[in-house]
Structure 1
Amino acid sequence: MKIKKVESQQELEQAYNVRMVVFVDEQQVSPEEEMDEHDAHSIHFVGYEGTEPIAASRLRFVDTYGKLERICILKEHRGKSFGRQMIETMEKEIVAQGYKKAKLNGQIQAENFYKKLGYQTVSDEFMDAGIPHVTMVKEL
C-alpha cells in the first residue's frame, strides 16, 4: 500500500469515501458523527493499492500530543498489515511536527492490535458513536 498525505480536494474526497464505507455503511455510525468540525483542521492520509483508495486516517495535534483518528481499511483489504503501515506513517508525521507522544481512542475490538504497536491503555472503556472504545498512548 502507498500512503499519501492528502494534498488535493480529490485525495480528501477519496479519504472521506473510505471513511464513509467503513464507519457509516459498515459500522452504522451516523454521517453527522463521522464527519465533524475537526476535519477542516486535520492532516488527512489516504492509502492506495494501485490507484484504488483503500485506507484513510486523520491526525490532529492537541496539547502535547498527536491524536490518531479515523483509522480505517476497507474490509476486503484487512489483514495485510495496512493498518500498521498507516499508524507508522502517522507516527512519523507526529515526530516530524516536533511532538513526542501519540494518543488515540481505539475501538475495543482493535485494542490488542494497538498494544502490539506499543500503545498502552490509559482509560476505562467508554462509548463513542455507539461503539466501545479505550484511550491509548505511546511515547515516540
Structure 2
Amino acid sequence: MNKIRVRLADWQQDNADIRRIREAVFVAEQQVPPELEWDADDQSAVHFLALEGDYPIGTARLLADGTIGRVSVLKDWRGLKVGDTLMQAVIAEAQRRGLTPQRLSAQVHATSFYERLGFHVVSEEFLEAGIPHVDMVRD
C-alpha cells in the first residue's frame, strides 16, 4: 500500500470523487437517502480527500463553525489508519483557521475512534438518517 496523504479538495473540481466516496459509504452501504446526504453546506464547506497514490479513498468536510462531517473511507481501506490520517488533517486545518471547538455528530459505533482523536460525547444518543448518533466536541 502506498503512503496515504490528505489534501484540500475543491467542491467543483473534485465533486465526482467526493460523490463517489460518499455515495458508496453512506447511500449504498448505510442506506442514507440521497436527499439527506447532499445539502447546501457542501457548497461552502472545506472538503478533504484522502488518497492512496492518486486514487481518492476517503473524504470529509469542515464547516465554517468548526463542525466536521461526512467523514467516510471506502470499505477496502478501512482499518488501515486512513480515517486517522484524514481526521488529523481536518483537525489541523480547523485549528489553523481558529475553529475551536471542533464538533461532529458521530455514529455510535465510531465514538471510540473519535475519542482517540480527543473528542468527547456531549449528547444523548439520537437517530440521524435512521442511524444512532451522538454529538461530540473537541476543545
| Fold shared per TM-score above 0.5 | yes
Residue in 2 that maps onto 1:60: 63
Of residues 21, 27, 32, the one that matches 1:29 is 32
Equivalent AA in structure 1 for residue 104 of structure 2: L
Unmatched 5+ residue regions in structure 2? none
Q: Give the percent of matched residue pairs that are identical in Structure 1 and Structure 2.
A: 38
Give distance in 2, aligned partners of 1:12 and 1:104. 22
RMSD of aligned C-alpha atoms? 1.1
Unmatched 5+ residue regions in structure 1? none
- Is 1:102–2:102 an aligned residue pair? yes
SS of aligned partner of 2:6:
strand
Residue in 2 that maps onto 1:129: 129
- Is 1:74–2:74 an aligned residue pair? yes
Shift of 1:101: 1.1
Aligned length: 136
Of residues 2, 11, 14, the one that matches 1:11 is 14
Runs of 4+ more than 6 Å apart: none
Under a length normalisation based on structure 1, what TM-score does the superposition of the two structures give? 0.92
Q: Which has the higher strand share?
A: 1
Shift of 1:100: 2.4
Between 93-102 and 15-24, report the one with greater CA deviation: 93-102
Under a length normalisation based on structure 2, what TM-score does the superposition of the two structures give? 0.93
- Asked if the contact 1:12/1:44 (under 8 Å) is kept, the reply is no
